[in-house]
Amino acid sequence: MKTEKEKMLGGELYNAMDPVLYAERIRAKELLYDYNHTRPSEKEIRERILRELLGGTGNDFLIEQPFNCDYGYNIRVGENFYANVGCTILDVAPVTIGDNVMLAPNVNIYTAGHPLDAEIRNSGLEYAYPVNIGNNVWIGGNVTIVPGVTIGANTVIGAGSVVTKDIPANVVAVGNPCQVVREIPK
């Protein structure tokens, strides 16, 4: 029989109030509390906390405070990653972010979702699908990325967009729902 964590990571319906998952979220919240309350000048402490929290990082990365996530261990960021203030990543499923990616303020990346059927939803079950962001991507302020989305390399997502489907490489995409408006010449 699968554990709730195995179901969660496998994209199946799972119970988020499972004691193991609950304890893992509390661990992440404790680390986030410490991180979000460090002084900006305490670079080494901040980096140590993020390396303990996140599932993988490049050598050079910066996440401005405040930062929020669910588990942390499902987040992998590449080299030269930057997230501005107010970043929230609900990493119930893996979130993989490539090299040279910049997130403007208040970017939200969600992997968690809830069933449309009210009876199932009210039972406490939910699901999660991974989010993948390629290399050299710039995501504008107040963008929301929903579960299961992939954003291709060298792409720019305009401020305020809601990304509900995959966006290819080498494009500018904007809007709600986010749509490609032009290609970026190579």
Active-site residues, by number, are: 114
**58-71 per-residue burial string, b: 16 or more CB within 10 A, e: under 16:** eeebebeeebebbb
Angle between helices 19-36 and 43-53 (to 10 degrees): 170
How far apart CA 90 and CA 128 sit, in angstroms, is 10
CA-nearest of 126, 148, 130 to 93 is 130
How far apart CA 184 and CA 156 sit, in angstroms, is 9
How far apart CA 81 and CA 43 sit, in angstroms, is 15
How far apart CA 94 and CA 7 sit, in angstroms, is 13
Q: Residues 21, 4: contact at Cβ < 8 Å?
A: yes
For residue 64, what is the DSSP state? P
Report the 10 Å Cβ neighbour count for 95.
Answer: 24
Would you state the structure tokens that stand for residue 2, as one six-digit string? 């699968």
